[in-house]
Amino acid sequence: MNSLIAIWRFRGLARAITERELRTRYTGSSLGPLWLVLQPLAMVLVYTLVFSQLMRARLPGIDSSFAYSVYLLTGVISWNLFLEIIQKSKNLFVEHGNLIKKVSFPRLVLYVPVVAVSGFNFVIMSILFLIFTVAVGMFPGKLILAAGPALALLVVFALAVGVLLSSLQVFFRDIGQVIDIVLQLLFWATPIIYPASILPEAVQRAIQWNPLVPVFRNLQTIFLEHRLPEFSTLLYPLAVAAVIALLAVYAYRRLYGAILDEL
């Protein structure tokens, strides 16, 4: 609770670092902030045009040429949010070492820009994505509000992993490499690119252990089937996230003094 109050007190710092992160991406370029939109736009166009028009990929059971594009974008955009938070957090202490060594402020404030910048990218992509769904007549309407729990869980999950990794990364630099591989495996162990239905029965059961599967399933239900997802399936990922969060808090508290010495 105290740390939440501290974060609120240092909201100016969080805002400044967020702005700095966003601005460094385009400082000196002539198109300026437009670049923040152009990259996601390119991605959305590739996924929609290439898969629906060129490759004519179809989802089994749904008779729409855009269904696979919607499926793909739902998963990829959400996965990017998850991935970006983890990757930005993992080097957090090393990256801000200069500041951390010289000024005393609540370190947790540094995670706010991580979420804010990743969230900013996510929102831009989502807007482009929603425009696309409207264009192809697959906008789920009020139902998009039902995506809230799954997305919130995704952010909390990523943040818990991020806090844990950032504390460990200061000492064990291999962790950064290891986690990239683990994330790749996790990505392919989650039905994002492919529909779960194409998997053999045994594999389908096996990936139920992957806590991210119900989260993405929730989102895909909303955007493809246009119906309320089963929120109760989120309890398992929530429990996993809670355990990781506890580990993260433990590691951070225990290591904090040593982190300051090691930077």
Binding residues for another protein (CB under 8 A): 9-13, 15-17, 20, 24, 27, 98-105, 168, 170-172, 251, 254-258, 260-262
Q: What number of H helices and E strands is found in the chain?
A: 12, 0
Tokens representing residue 163 in the block: 């806090």
56 vs 102 by CB, closer to another protein: 102
95 vs 180 by CB, closer to another protein: 95
Which residue has tokens 């990017």? 80
**Minimum distance from CB of 182 to another protein (Å)?**
20
**Minimum distance from CB of 25 to another protein (Å)?**
12
Closest CA to 8 of 159, 99, 112, 103: 112
**Minimum distance from CB of 45 to another protein (Å)?**
32
174 vs 201 by CB, closer to another protein: 174
**Minimum distance from CB of 251 to another protein (Å)?**
6
81 vs 168 by CB, closer to another protein: 168
**Minimum distance from CB of 257 to another protein (Å)?**
3
Contact 126, 23 (CB under 8 A): no
Q: Tell how far CA 152 is from the center of its chain.
A: 10
Tokens representing residue 46 in the block: 């590739």
Residue 232's Cβ-count burial label (10 Å; 0-12, 13-18, 19+) is: exposed
12 vs 61 by CB, closer to another protein: 12
**Minimum distance from CB of 13 to another protein (Å)?**
4
Sign of the alpha-carbon dihedral angle for 202, 203, 204, 210: positive
Which residue has tokens 């501290």? 6
146 vs 260 by CB, closer to another protein: 260
CA pair distance 257, 18, nearest whole angstrom = 26
